Amino acid sequence: MKKSFFFAFLLLYFAGATHLWHQVTAGFAMRKIDPAPFMGMLDAFLKTHPEKTGFSHQNSPPLQGRFTYLGKGRQCYVFSSTDGKMVLKLYRYHLLFPSMQERLYGFFFGTPPKKDGGRLENYLTSCLLAESCASQQSGLIAFHLPESSCKKRIVTICDRLGRMYPIDLSKQVYVLQKQGIDLGKQLQEELRMHNKKRFFSLVDAYLRLQVDVRKKGLENQDPCPLRNAGYLPDDGTVFDLDIGRYVKKDPCITQKQLHASLVKSSSSLRRMLERLRPSWLQELSRSIDATAKKGL
């Protein structure tokens, strides 16, 4: 009985310690951004996209200082530059490994689990689309795929505990983007301040972003587009923070289809107003109608 109790206590202790460490580090670890196990997939992707072969990271702006851990998205860890003007995104390769459930299933049923190469390919394809068609709408500064011919480019990244790691970006898939303010939070702040004019100025810019992306023959299939939109306070530019879900779409759509698309992408805005400012809902409908009428 005592042994069973002690064993259960140890399990709870290690589970609690693991959870606490994950909370402190926000889940970041250097091994999670190691591309080595997936270099075969990256090489195969480069062969099918020869336009990226020979791309040099020397074309991107010089990176100075260090990049400090900012947070994580569904696909990348995000680090902020010292001057706060751009972010460095490094892919979370650990997500491509089979889950514990898949490993257990494979162990009991003799089916070896596989790495999720399709997820990586979709992300890379989306970044290529952003680079070639929508760099302005995505705030993209540079997108890099690793190549053996690239010279080393060492930068320092810093985690939440202040630990610093040198990393060679020439061996990484990385994205450099402008660093924007969370648009959703800013809209909530404008609501709190009863600043209707400023609120709908940002709403109009957000709706126009959806139209501009579609003009480029793309669609952002992010299920929460507002949550992953940002803006630059200096000039009011609104852009997509998450560029990992772009797909090609026919830019030639009817006004009715465009209106439906705008209604869908602004559904979270409508819920926000229903909860906090119901009297502004009619103005939101007018903004959607006006943007749809302008068309593509």
Task: Please write down the HEC assignment for all residues of 69-136.
Answer: EEEECCCEEEEEECCCCEEEEEECHHHHCCCHHHHHHHHHHCCCCCCCHHHHHHHHHHHHHHHHHCHH
**pLDDT for the residue 118:** 82
The rounded radius of gyration (Å) of the Cα atoms in the chain is 22
pLDDT of residue 170: 86
**Phi, psi for residue 80 in degrees, rounded to 5:** -95, 140
Min mean pLDDT across 2-16, 60-74, 118-132, 151-165 is at: 2-16
Q: What is the pLDDT of residue 54?
A: 42
The structure's pTM equals 0.84
Cα–Cα distance measured from residue 221 to residue 215, given in angstroms and rounded to the nearest whole number: 15
Q: Are 130 and 247 in contact (CB under 8 A)?
A: no
Domain ranges (residues) in the chain: 27-178, 181-294
Average of pLDDT values for 235-241?
A: 92
Q: Tens digits of per-residue pLDDT, 156-214?
A: 999 999 999 999 988 899 999 999 999 999 999 999 999 999 999 999 999 999 999 99
The residue ranking higher by pLDDT, 272 or 110, is 272
42 Rama sector, left if φ>0, alpha if ψ -120 to 50, beta otherwise: alpha
CATH of 181-294, one of 3.60.21, 3.10.420, 2.60.120, 1.10.510: 1.10.510
Determine what percent of the chain is predicted with pLDDT higher than 90. 57
pLDDT at residue 149 in the model: 62
Structure tokens at 226: 């507002």
- Residue with the bigger pLDDT between 174 and 51: it is 174
Average pLDDT value for residue range 113-117: 57
Alpha-carbon span 52 to 121, nearest angstrom: 14
